[in-house]
Amino acid sequence: MFLSLLHIDIGNDPDRPSPGRDWLRNVYRVHQRLCMAFPSASRKSEDPDFLAPFVSGDFGDNQVRVQRGEENGFLFRIDPSKRGEAAILVQSAVDPDWDYAFHNAEHFLAASTQVKHVDASFEEGQSFRFRLMANPTRKIDTKSGSDGARRNGKRVPVHVDQLFSWLSGKSEVSGFKVAEETTTIQSDYAYFRKSRTDDKETARLRTVRYDGLLEVSDREQFRKSVVAGIGSSKSMGFGLLSIAPLMTA
């Protein structure tokens, strides 16, 4: 498992244009650019300077537009930062090629990208600080039809009063425990549009950032949850569960 930290230049003056800030405002474009870090061998050899237009089929090798697994896919999260920078954390199955991804967009970056290999092994009873940006939803209209087949239903946002309950329920099947008194919750929205010209197509998803402490209760299930992510809308920057050791005196 590889973890990448991208420093994005958003400028110090919110009243002045900033390409990096504008880019982050559309998470669809962010995901598209991150996909470019996984070029196919033929794409990179035929277009080493990234001069050709983006074609989704040229990027992947089972690394993009797939569920995150032990050998494929990636998760990401956009974190706010200070001093004119924002941060993007990317967790991937293979070592990404950020030089290629930003070859024609170096102006987005405020500093060199950091990449490290992580051995995701855990022990039951371990405690960590954690952060999770999630899109908490629940399914409705999932009753069986007259033919006996169960409808898939549709996803709707979890009520604000149930945000911790959502996390607690996820933790029970994800191999860890959380306590409400050590968890902070912040809500906002992420915006995206696929068209560059039609503002009417702008849509939004609710973002909920959980920060707190967790304890590993099932090490194998916890590892799977760290690798695969938690919740829905992972291609829009949700689901990445990042952890850090507790500070000791």
CATH of the domain at 214: 3.30.70.1210
pLDDT of residue 219: 95
pTM of the predicted structure, to 2 decimals: 0.86
Q: What pLDDT was estimated at residue 244?
A: 93
Q: Would you state the pLDDT for residue 189?
A: 84
**Total count of domains within the chain:** 2
Same domain, 7 and 35: yes
Residues 241 and 131 in one domain: yes
Residues 136 and 105 in one domain: no
Pair 133, 177 in one domain = yes
pLDDT at 196: 59
Q: Which of 117, 148, 163 is the last residue of a domain?
A: 117
117, 151, 175 - which closes a domain: 117
Same domain, 110 and 154: no
pLDDT at 58: 75
Q: Do 70 and 148 share a structural domain?
A: no
Note whether 181 and 149 are same-domain residues.
Answer: yes
Let me know whether 175 and 221 are in one domain: yes
In a domain, 122, yes or no: no
Q: Are residues 159 and 203 in the same domain?
A: yes
**Would residue 42 count as lying in a domain?**
yes
Evaluate whether residue 134 is within a structural domain.
yes
Residues of the domain holding 238? 127-245
Q: pLDDT value at position 43? A: 87
What pLDDT was estimated at residue 157? 82
The answer as to whether 199 is a domain residue is yes
| HEC profile of the chain | CEEEEEEEECCCCCCCCCHHHHHHCCHHHHHHHHHCCCECHHHHHHCCCCCCCCCHHHECCCCCCCCCCCCCCEEEEEECCCCCEEEEEEEECCCCCHHHHCCCCHHHECCCCEEEECCCCCCCCCEEEEEEEECCEEEECCCECCCCCECCCEEEECCHHHHHHHHHHHHHCCCEEEEEEEEEEEEEEEEECCCCCCHHHCEEEEEEEEEEEEEECCHHHHHHHHHHCCCCCHHHCCCCEEEEECCCC
Ranges of residues in the chain whose predicted pLDDT is under 50 = none
